[in-house]
Every structure is written in structure tokens, then in C-alpha cells.
Amino acid sequence: MSDLENPFQETLLQRHRAEPCTVVIFGATGDLTNRKLIPAFYNVAACGDLPPQFKLVGFARREKTDEVFRKELEEGNRKNSRQGHNDELWNSFSQSIHYHRSEFEDPAGYVQLKLLLDQFDKERGTTANRLFYLASAPEAFKPILEMLKAAGLNHGVDGKWARVVCEKPFGKDLATARALNAAVAETFEEKDTYRIDHYLGKETAQNIMVLRFANALFEPNWNSKYIDNVQITCAENLGMEGGRGGYYDTAGALRDMVQNHLFQLLSLVAMEPPTDLSADSVRDEKVKVIRALRPLIGPEAVGANVIRAQYTAGSVDGVSRVGYRQEDRVNPESQTEAYVALRLFIDTWRWQGVPFYIRVGKQLPKKATEISIHFKKPPQVPFATARLPGSSENTLVIRIQPDEGIALRILAKQPGQALSMQQVKMDFRYSSSFGKASPEAYERLLLDAMAGDATLFARRDEVESAWKFIDEIEHAWHQSATPPTMCEYPAGSWGPKEADDLLRQDGHAWRLL
């Protein structure tokens, strides 16, 4: 049977075709809509992938007309569109955008919303699918869901579907995540619930499965026999700009980044091969990784494997920065971490004994997210007298942002009479290899939600398993009698020395970005 005759291949192609639908964005006047969602829809339209008879309704509290709303979004699109802004395309695309004013808790507003959606269906001459996007503050999720259910908008009509997309943060601990999951489950079925994590929409994150499972060069060696350690780094060169301090000081690096984004990357790196590429087959394997994480219970275990820190005054890119506790809207006595480094172990046959190091922090020297796979060194018997470089291990580097790509570092002989070796890099970059820029993460994820493909969205059990692990660390930090130390590092450095010591204990070092 050829690929063209393979029904599984055909299914994969079909499921990525977005179906005609109306998208309703709750919190449509917020930053996410202006900076990410509308430019994503616009670029999908520019690529010719927007479904026919598409409609978008912005749902928010402020009073404004369709025309005013469209003009505001146009200004944002000019600044944020990946492919630039084309007036002719925008004029055509913007005619599908409408505005609906209502309080999130007002039942009458949802009755009017239903009438508006029904009017669109009448104009189309057919009933359309409906996608509800919760881009509001997390505390508004529950009332929005309750109002959608009360208005009868949580079910499709005439064989059409109704789905909900939930933005992060999805809870702030296990208890709130469970409560939110329960509220969603009372309104939408799990198959119609899409918990979005934009990191999984990035091309390189998606490419991890292809790299691992479609290449015989890597899959046989992707285990504890050949891999020495794995590092995941998410470095940010900003602090609390834009008034972000108020939110961040209630969350911290562990809950803001590790529980969702970095655990998603961890699970893609460590998961077993799925039986197929269906959404649940992939997500079944991802959640197994989170459940297999060796628990860190109590301040002693947390203190030995997790480093938390705050930045002090320093300089980033030649610009002076204040310390974390001096940032706007941050408690001067804050015990919230702006940096965290973790040493984790996955208790499975494949990964027994392999440390996974994760670090994320603010006010570091550069902005970058990458995964590095550090392979064990072969016996150096034939080269006992050769001159080896300081770092001679083979390393596979998966760059998530900003310069998406994959690099493999290997040893090669330097030209000349002496047997002297040097590390060289085999580098693949998306932009140069494929001749075009990668789509923004939200473009892919929005298309998947409209196509009914939940592969790149978090499932309920995955979210709750991650929070269960994170809660033990938070408890040791904030509720134990002897909490682990809050370390410090100057802004513009790569973090506290204690994070370096964490790896040095195992004979390892953080990869230099």
C-alpha cells in the first residue's frame, strides 16, 4: 500500500483542515488578543488557511462599535503581524470581525450573543461550528463557563461542534486546577476542551517527536545507556516590565513556567513512542512521564534538588536593572522566586539514573529556550595521547527560540600533523533550510483547535499530575518550618552559584548558551 492509499495518512491530512466556524474571544480588548490572537488569525488568512465563512466575535465589557474594535485591532496587527500588514487583505479579513459588549456575569449578554451567532448562521444559510476562547483573567473562567451553559451555547447545533480553548494559567495549584477542570467538565466534554500552551505550537517543539521517532540515528540511542544528562533552559533577559510584577509575585518561576511550558518540553523529550499520532495516544505517553517523576517531598529533598533565587541589582545588555524586590508591584519582602533550577529523575526503564536539569529565570544575559541532550563519552583508549578539547561530549541541541533549529556537536580532527581534536557543529535552521519563517505558535494551535486536533493541547490528567508534583515543592518553600534558602544572583548573570553547584555535584555543568 502506498502512502497515498494509506487511510491513516489521509486521516492526518484531513484533521488539519480547519472547519467553518465562528470564534468568540472572551477578554477581546486585552493584550493577548491584540498582540497574539488577531495577528495569528490574520496570518492564517494570509496563508489561505482560514476556513470559509469564518466569523470572529470579540466579547468584552467596554462599550465600542464594530468599527472602533476593528480599528484598534488593525493598529495591533501592524505592529505584531509576522508577515507584515497588507491593507487590502486586512480590509477583507476585518469584515469578519464583530464586537459584543457584555459583563462576563450577565446572563442577558449571553442570550444576546446566542442571537448574534444565530443571525450569522441565517446569513450563511447553514449552521456553523463555534469555538469559545477564554482569553480573560483566570478568575473569570468559571462564570463565563456557567453563563455559556445557561444560554445553551456549550453544545453544537444540527451536528456541529462547540469547543472551548482555555489559556494558562490553568489553576495555581492542584486544588484550583481540579476546581477549574470540574467547572469545564460541567460545561464541555473533555474532547471539546483545549488547554493551550503556546510552547507546543512552536515548530521545534513539534519536531521533537519527528527527530526522535523518525530517525534511526537517534531513537536506538535515546536512553540511559547512551545519554548522560538532559538540560532544558528557558532564559529571559527582562524583568517585571509592563506592570507584570503584580501577577508574577503571586506566581513565581516554578508555577509560571515549569508547571506548564517546561514540563511539556520535558514530556516530549522523555515520552515513549505513541502507538499512533492520534491526540490521545500522544497525550497518554506524555502524562506517563509526569507521573514517573521521582517525587520531591519535604524541605530536605526539595533543598537538595531545587534551587530558587531572586535577582539583585545589575546590568543586562549594558542597561542597569534594579533587584527583584525593588521592581514595581513586587512585595519588598517577597519570597517569590524569579529563578529556579531543578534536578529531576524519571523512574522508568528508559531513563533510570539520568538527571534532567531544568532552569528558568528573569534578567539573565539573553533570551533563549533550548533543550540539550548530552551523550556519554566513549572509551578514549585509541586517543589516550591525543589532545582533547575541554568539552568533548557529543551534544544534541534543540533550539526552541529565538533561532529555531537543531545542532549536533561532534568531535573532529584539526588539520595538521598532530592528532588534536576539536568540537564542530552540524547546524540545521528552520529559516534557512525551508526558505521561509516558521508560523507563530498561535497560528498552528488555532488551526488545530478549529480542525479538532487536540494533540498539542494539555489534557486534564496531565495538568493535574503536573500540579501534584509542583505543589510538593511549593509546600516545602512556603509552608514548612525550615524552608530551603532563597538564593541571589546579580541581574545580567546566569543565575546563582548554587545552581552551578547542583550540577557540579554530579560532575556536570550548564551548557553555555
CATH of the domain at 354: 3.30.360.10
Compute the mean pLDDT over every residue in the chain, rounded to the nearest whole number. 90
425 part of a folded domain: no
168 part of a folded domain: no
What φ, ψ does residue 406 adopt, rounded to 5°?
-140, 135
Burial 369-380 (b: 16+ CB within 10 A, else e): bbbbbbbeeeee
Query: Do 112 and 209 belong together in one domain?
Result: no
Q: Which of 261, 374, 475, 508 is catalytic?
A: 261
What φ, ψ does residue 159 adopt, rounded to 5°?
80, 0
387 part of a folded domain: no
The pLDDT tens digits of the residues spanning 108-133 come to 999 999 999 999 999 988 888 999 99
The pLDDT tens digits of the residues spanning 174-232 come to 999 999 999 999 999 999 999 998 888 887 788 898 899 989 999 999 999 999 999 99
- Residue 197: predicted pLDDT: 87
Residue 346 has what DSSP assignment? B
Query: Do 225 and 143 belong together in one domain?
Result: no
Residue 106 domain boundaries: 20-160
Residue type, 245: G
Query: Do 270 and 149 belong together in one domain?
Result: no
Quick check: 2 pLDDT over 50? no
Query: Do 78 and 204 belong together in one domain?
Result: no
Query: Do 299 and 373 belong together in one domain?
Result: yes
81 part of a folded domain: yes
* CATH number of the domain that residue 146 is part of: 3.40.50.720
Q: How confident is the model at residue 12 (pLDDT cuts 50, 70, 90)?
A: very low
Query: Do 228 and 300 belong together in one domain?
Result: yes
Q: How confident is the model at residue 14 (pLDDT cuts 50, 70, 90)?
A: very low
181 part of a folded domain: no
Task: Look at residues 128, 160, 192 and tell me which one is the last residue of a structural domain.
Answer: 160
The pLDDT tens digits of the residues spanning 438-484 come to 778 899 999 999 999 999 999 999 999 999 999 999 999 999 999 99
List beta partners, residue 99: 58
Task: Look at residues 111, 139, 160 and tell me which one is the last residue of a structural domain.
Answer: 160
The pLDDT tens digits of the residues spanning 228-287 come to 999 999 999 999 987 889 989 999 999 999 999 999 999 999 999 999 888 899 999 999
Question: Is 98 considered catalytic here?
Answer: no
Quick check: 382 pLDDT over 70? no
Query: Do 474 and 331 belong together in one domain?
Result: yes
Q: Cell 497515498 appears where? A: 4
Question: Quick one: what percent of the chain has pLDDT higher than 70?
Answer: 93
- Residue 384: predicted pLDDT: 57
Average pLDDT of the segment spanning 160-184: 93
Q: What is the pTM of this model?
A: 0.91
Query: Do 265 and 345 belong together in one domain?
Result: yes
Quick check: 146 pLDDT over 80? yes
Q: Cell 548530552 appears where? A: 374
Query: Do 24 and 138 belong together in one domain?
Result: yes
- Long-range contacts (CB closer than 8 Å, 24 or more residues apart) made by 428-432: 429/403, 429/404, 429/405, 430/203, 430/204, 430/404, 430/405, 431/403, 431/404, 431/405
131 part of a folded domain: yes
77 is written with which cell numbers?
Answer: 496587527
420 is written with which cell numbers?
Answer: 588534536
Query: Do 211 and 358 belong together in one domain?
Result: yes
Query: Do 338 and 467 belong together in one domain?
Result: yes
Average pLDDT of the segment spanning 136-157: 93
First to last CA, the chain: 46
* Contact by Cβ (8 Å): 305, 317: no
340 part of a folded domain: yes
More confident call, 332 vs 392: 332
Query: Do 123 and 204 belong together in one domain?
Result: no
Q: What is the DSSP string of 304-340?
A: HHEEEEEEESEEETTEEE--GGGSTTS-TT----SEE
- Long-range contacts (CB closer than 8 Å, 24 or more residues apart) made by 175-184: 177/463, 177/464, 177/467, 178/464, 180/138, 180/141, 180/142, 181/460, 181/463, 181/464, 183/141, 183/142, 183/145, 183/146, 184/141, 184/145
The pLDDT tens digits of the residues spanning 384-442 come to 556 665 666 889 999 998 888 899 988 887 787 667 777 778 888 876 776 666 778 89
The pLDDT tens digits of the residues spanning 53-74 come to 899 999 999 999 999 999 999 9
Quick check: 505 pLDDT over 90? yes
Task: Look at residues 160, 183, 208 and tell me which one is the last residue of a structural domain.
Answer: 160
- Residue 410: predicted pLDDT: 84
Q: State how many domains the chain has.
A: 2
Q: How confident is the model at residue 8 (pLDDT cuts 50, 70, 90)?
A: very low
